[in-house]
Amino acid sequence: MMKNKIRSLGHAAFEITTTKGTRILIDPWITGNPACPFKVGELDQPDLLLVSHDHHDHYGSDIPNLLNKGQGTLICQPEVAAKAQKDGVPAAKIITMNIGGTVEVKGVKVTMTQAVHSSASGTPCGYIVTLEDGKTVYHAGDTGIFASMKLFAEIYGIDVALLPIGGVFVMDPLQAAAALTLLQPKTVIPMHYRTFPVLEQTADKFIALAKEKAPQVEIKALQPGEAMEF
């Protein structure tokens, strides 16, 4: 039987392909991303495209390109949607939502969570994506640690957590490792490091702290372009 697959596109960008073949892109910063090994034309059209906030390293300039050739749907907050429409994404291809809400597209449930960060349009967010087979992926977006991450574990149960570890703009390795004790995911994939000189350049500190604080969590430090099945 086919498994779900998650592939790192570098920085905080990920592509999820579900067992049913549904393609989900999250924060697809492709063009201009020094960590991304792909050109935008090499990626398959997404069915769903989720944006956590409007900073250039998450929103990216490729969203109209990624959506306008196929049947994909952009999911984001109303204010980010207004920006996307100005950039040429038709309103018919956008579903707006906000923190605490869940929408369902093609059997995939998308729940928007809070994130502690900044944004020019709307507010920063994360996503808990429940795939057709019930597996859950939490993309934290850009955030510091917050205590109600524990509730996500209690309400949803997290199979894979995508957590920023780079520090400066987001959680540093210590906070990210502590977040694992709240989220209790089966697997964690660290993200948002190495891309800029100011960020942590390796996942080593995070891996050491994670093993100490949450030894039961599997750590998969995916290289850009690398994938894992779950």
User: For the chain, what are the domain ranges?
Assistant: 5-221
Torsion from C-alpha of 155, 160, 192, 61, nearest 10 degrees: -90
Distance CA 138, CA 150 (A): 12
Angle at CA of residue 145, ends 141 and 148, nearest 5°: 95
pLDDT at residue number 221? 98
pLDDT at residue number 68? 85
pLDDT at residue number 69? 77
pLDDT at residue number 70? 80
Classified as helix, coil or strand, 17 is strand
* 8 Å CB contact between 163 and 140: yes
Q: How many residues does the chain have?
A: 230
Angle at CA of residue 4, ends 26 and 36, nearest 5°: 40
Distance CA 72, CA 158 (A): 25
Distances (CA, A) of 10 to 26, 29, 36, 103: 11, 8, 5, 27
Amino acid of residue 128: I
Question: Which has the closest alpha carbon to 78: 117, 109, 114, 123?
Answer: 123
Tokens of 166: 């780079």
Q: Does the 5-221 domain belong in CATH 3.60.15.10?
A: yes
Distance CA 212, CA 18 (A): 32
All residue ranges of the chain with pLDDT < 50 are none
Amino acid of residue 214: A
Angle at CA of residue 221, ends 142 and 172, nearest 5°: 40
Query: How do residues 166-190 score in pLDDT, each as one tens digit?
Result: 999 999 999 999 999 999 999 999 9
Distances (CA, A) of 149 to 66, 73, 88, 220: 31, 27, 35, 20
Distance CA 23, CA 46 (A): 5
